[in-house]
Amino acid sequence: MRKVYLTLLAALGFMAVNAADITKKDEIKSDETWTKSNTYFLDGFVLVTNGATLTIEAGTVIKGLAADNITSGDAAAALIIGRGAKIMAEGTATEPIIFTSELDDVNDANDLNLSDPNESRSLWGGLVLLGNAPIGSTASEIVVEGLPNEDRYKFGGTNAADNSGVLRFISIRHSGYEIAADSELQGLSLGGVGSGTTIEYVESFFSGDDGVEFFGGTVDVRYWVSSFNDDDGLDWDEGYRGRIQFALVIGDSKRGDHGAECDGAKPDDNALYSAPQVYNVTFIGGYENATNSGAKNEHGMVLRDGTGGVIANSIITEYNNYALQVEDRAETFDSYSKMKNGDLEFINNYWYSFGAGSSWNDIILATPEKARETDAASLKTHLANNNNTIANPGITSTSRTSNFNPTLKSGSATLTGGKPLVDDEWFYNVPFIGAFNGETDECWIKGWTAMDHHGMLASGLTYGGITSIENANLKYFGVYPNPANEVVYVDLNLEVSENVQVRLLDLSGRVVMNVASGSMEGISKLTINTENLNKGTYFIQINGVRTALTQRLMLQ
């Protein structure tokens, strides 16, 4: 039965209460709306179930009780959206919805000592969404890590398009709780969540475990931030097959593990192995320079247990040890075999500054470490053939204290080095590599994140979504005839002068022809002779600082 209390937190030894403090525990079985005029306290595991919808107003603060103050008997506080239920939590860039601990005064950026892990991490559990999407596990439905082995906490099913609601402009702070050995709640746990769910502009800040963990499912995530968490920035397992674009993972100089820890399925040879499409991520570890090489951050990316997927147009930098580990166990279902079969790809990424060294020979770590040399050579060949580069990506500032600026410096090759994405309208075709543009003060982590609240961002940054740069200067872009045979005409009209590139690319993203480049303004008419090209699918791409568009072209 659902229980709602107006409690005297003084009786719990914390603070006096006012009429706007509401404590929730047990189950929510009917529709509710939480408003910003109240502060909501989670007493243990609070489960939304029975098909109910929990609506949370922009600007609302939800706090998990400290373990010593929980009266429900649960090990930690957490908000859990069960299968069939929904959460409609839509904050804004100026009024985010904040999930944090009761020990955190959200109006005082200095109330918690961020340098003390006991005071800044694992202060409560986290946010959990459970859905009906397929999972790659030993059973079609299982209980998410960190929760009791009860039917009400199970996830998984057959509906890939399952809808668990909306998370938008959400800040999850000081979470991540170890319930038992190797069983933790993350900042955000997603179990079997389907593609009908919307997750964008969400951060996990100072979690005691992973920033986010995907346990199977098909949910898509855009504008994700994992900052200063104790374990991995991105963690996927159990056959996760969603899409990710525009994500920032930044590690502490002394804590945190891999940028991404990527597992396939259970068992490893399960046909429903993980195969997400991951584009435009900026991974920054804790290795600022050799003087702080004691940072725990190990490797940029670890791929194992037969995971597949695509990691493209991303930046991986400043990890204390190695850049990349692809598990090779001489098995037909390991991740190395997935790479050899084309089911695991690293495309057009920038790798830079690792404790292990600065060449492919230094920064690739095979598994086992004495793996066959021919296999290590194959991995290096794959990286070279797919336009992976060891070079400075040109991030403005990776400071972890008060001057962080993830935008790209003027003149950086990464500003216009992005390759076209898969033919999928969900993705934004942008010209840059990594999660942020450059040559503008607009930055999508400004305003709503805890990083900004704690003064970690460089001065001068303003909030701006990435979509605001798309085609900002492009009045018209036409390709005809389409389908074409021997000649293709490209018309474009730029409102003001801009340096742009127009390129013809094949289906894999390889540049077939540089059509035009340089400063353009007003109407330009370009001609492409295609009579010597094979028939099939191509892309015509225009890239500039303010302009980004890719259009498909069919040659008959």
Longest dimension (CA), the chain: 81
Q: What is the pLDDT of residue 425?
A: 77
Q: What is the pLDDT of residues 366-385, one digit of tens each?
A: 666 545 566 778 899 999 99
Note the pLDDT of residue 6: 31
Is residue 1 pLDDT above 70, yes or no?
Answer: no
pLDDT at 227 over 60: yes
Q: Mind listing the pLDDT tens digit for each residue in 12-49?
A: 334 434 448 999 999 999 999 999 999 999 999 999 99
Least confident interval from 104-118, 224-238, 413-427: 413-427
pLDDT of residue 537: 87
pLDDT at 252 over 50: yes
Q: What is the reported pLDDT for 13?
A: 38
Distance CA 489, CA 476 (A): 13
Convert 74-94 to b/e letters by CB count within 10 Å (16 or more is b). bbbbbbbbbbbbbbbbbbebe
Indicate whether 76 pLDDT > 90: yes
Helix (H, G, I), strand (E, B) or coil at 480: strand
What whole-number distance in Å separates Cα of residue 40 and Cα of residue 52?
Answer: 18
Q: Is 361 left (phi over 0), alpha (psi -120 to 50) or beta?
A: alpha
Report the distance separating Cα 40 and Cα 32, nearest Å: 12
pLDDT for 275 beyond 50: yes
User: What is the mean pLDDT of the segment spanning 389-397?
Assistant: 96
Q: State percent of the chain over pLDDT 90.
A: 64
Cis peptide before 368 (omega within 30 of 0): yes
Residue length of the chain: 556
Residues 406-464 have pLDDT tens digits of 999 999 999 988 887 777 878 888 889 999 998 678 899 999 999 999 999 999 999 98
Highest mean pLDDT among 157-166, 355-364, 374-383, 407-416: 157-166
pLDDT band at 353 (very low <50, low <70, confident <90, very high): very high
Instruction: Report the pLDDT value the prediction gives residue 508, as an integer from 0 to 100.
Output: 64
Cβ atoms 102, 96 nearer than 8 A = no
pLDDT above 50 for 9: no
Q: Are 144 and 130 in contact, with CB atoms under 8 Å apart?
A: yes
Please report the pLDDT score of residue 15 as a whole number: 42
Q: Could you report the per-residue pLDDT of 495-546, keeping only the tens digit for each? A: 888 888 898 988 766 788 999 988 899 999 999 999 889 999 888 888 776 7
Report residue 64's pLDDT band, with 50, 70 and 90 as the boundaries.
very high
DSSP H/E element including 351: strand 350-354
How high does pLDDT run on average in the chain?
A: 88
For residue 366, what are its two tokens? Answer: 């095979």
pTM of the predicted model as reported, rounded to 2 decimal places: 0.86
Report the SS3 class of residue 552: strand
Does position 218 have pLDDT exceeding 80, yes or no?
yes
